[in-house]
Amino acid sequence: MKKIILIRHAKSAWDNPWLSDHDRPLADRGLQDAPIMAKRLKKRKIQAEIILCSTATRAVETAKIIAKELEFPVSEIILEENLYHASPNKILKYIHLQKDSKDILFIVGHNPGLNELIEHLGGKLDNLPTSGQFGFLAKIDRWSEFGPKTAEVWFVDFPKKRF
């Protein structure tokens, strides 16, 4: 069984108009929400075996907060610049490339790609909010088999949802 949790980066700061979109850090709200959401993963007893992350500053900061809370080695977070505003097909490509010996994958990325991937996989959600998590299960042995025919919705969580 393979499990994937799609995680939208936490709320980013917009107070410096000179920064590129890629370089925007987390806002105070993002710094508060990310550890709360990581603790919810811990309560569900979900431990990442792979964390794949966009190289955008806000995504990296989110991934590091999650990793620290879950005692996942920050040095093992895989940064992939092609996940920055990636299409659903691009995200699926990276899912398919993961080691089959690992069963739980976190992807920290961006909308609209994450929303579109959720819909493509059969999930129903208007918008994955910042710090939101959308989990899928698949009764497969190889990541290359992950897709709309094998993915089942596992859970949806976001900061304003009661846990």
* Domain CATH number, residue 26: 3.40.50.1240
Phi, psi torsion values for 144, nearest 5 degrees:
-65, -15
Size of the chain in residues: 163
Residue 148 lies in a domain: yes
Q: Is residue 163 part of a domain?
A: no
What's the rounded Cα separation, in Å, for the pair 136 and 153?
5
Asked whether residue 34 is domain-assigned, the answer is: yes
| 66 inside domain | yes
Structural domain that includes position 46: 2-157
Q: What is the pLDDT of residue 91?
A: 98
Average pLDDT estimate for 3-11 = 98
Task: Tokens for 140, please give them.
Answer: 């497969």
Residue 163 — pLDDT band, cuts 50, 70, 90?
A: low
Backbone torsions φ then ψ of 49, nearest 5 degrees: -105, -25
Domain membership flag for residue 109:
yes
Report residue 158 as tokens. 């976001």
Residue 162: inside a domain, yes or no? no
Residue 81 placed within a domain? yes
Total domains in the chain come to: 1
pLDDT single digits (tens) 105-152: 999 999 999 999 999 999 999 999 999 999 999 999 999 999 999 999
Helices (H) and strands (E) in the chain, counts: 4, 6
Look at residue 7 and tell me if it is in a domain.
yes
Bridge partners of 26, per DSSP, are 12
